[in-house]
Amino acid sequence: MNDEFRSLFPLTSDVVYLDSAATSLTPTSVLEEMNDYYNKYCANIDRGVHHLSKLASHRYGDTHKKIGELIGCSGKEVVLTKNTTEAINQVAFGLDWSKNDHVITTVMEHHSNFVPWLRLREKGVKVDVIGIKNGQIDLNELKNKITSETRLIAICHASNVLGTINPVIEIGKICRENDILYLVDGAQSTPHLPIDVQKIGCDFYSFSGHKMLGPTGIGALYCKQKHQEKLKPLMVGGGNVSNVTKTGYTLKKGYHRLEAGTPNIAGAIGLTKAIQILNEIGLKNIRKHEEKLNKTLIDELRNLDGLNILNPDIDRTGVISFTIKGKDPHKIALQLDQKNIIVRSGNHCSQPLVEHYNYDKVIRTSHYIYNTQKEIKTLCKELKKLI
């Protein structure tokens, strides 16, 4: 990416930012769009007849539409949430579960697509966790775990530790053949890959704005319209009720019933701008850019003594994790931080996956559209010194 584009991200002039899987940098144009809301038409949505509320409501509603266009669905099937975690919890605790219902998830999940399903065991739901082979979901084990009681399969589109891109379309076919609900965690894929929920064949798809150039505090859940009336809202109150009496209430129809309270209006408007930027660049172009950076980084890391890359040869997003023999990942991350190189160390909210590789923590780099070949080589140069 050229210097003009990088100038939209002021932090890139100060640091080598390689922690985009945790949160991406936010362009100044996104912040300006959010400031315009606060400075020019600040009002609550769907709460008044005045022109400020109407404009804010229109802009908020436009976010549903733009997200739908991005992932291949109707804006009416988009529920705005706080983040991916809230979106997945809305499904996990919005569905009616019966004792002995069965859920299948995987060892490579982020805790946000893992813990909500484990918690269902309190309701008597059976939860199976399938393993991985060579950094990828073991499809044979997945098929073998399916029973007549299997109600839902929940998997990540891409791993936040390995970068693995899972065969979500193939898994979608398996779910349809067995009449199983299908939830995909798209937090690590939506910023990096073209998404079409119709091709994937999922019932639910979730992601967060802050990993795709947007602000924090805004995310989305794709929910097929036929499921919207079946989900119980996580919260009730202002915004998602159409009628209230002393003895009861009536919920609104569609996605409105799942969006209680005053939402993150500015965040939604900022996310719309972020989506516009991604569309202008093109997700296919983002993918090509990351693949080039991946090749450079993996080639360089392979030449460093004692450095072990987790599954270097998989099809991946811009996420690469590794360990260095005899070196503590946290210490390495702190030493890189002193050189203004930002990476993450730890279990990355994927403790079962990291432990699968017999580690308690690893070092993770995650690049994005604002990173350059020069920055990748700077990282490798500093790692070589540390080793």
Residues carrying an active site annotation: 349
CA 242 vs CA 92, 207, 232, 250: distances in Å: 25, 28, 15, 6
Neighbours of 123 (CB within 10 A): 12
Question: Rounded distance, CA 172 to CA 138, Å?
Answer: 15
Question: Rounded distance, CA 316 to CA 164, Å?
Answer: 5
- Token pair of 292 as six digits: 């080039």
Q: Which of 373, 351, 347, 363 is closest to 309 using CA atoms?
A: 363
Contact 17, 364 (CB under 8 A): no
CA 208 vs CA 147, 217, 274, 313, 376: distances in Å: 32, 8, 12, 27, 26
3-class state of residue 206 by DSSP: strand
Q: Which of 305, 337, 338 is closest to 324 using CA atoms?
A: 305
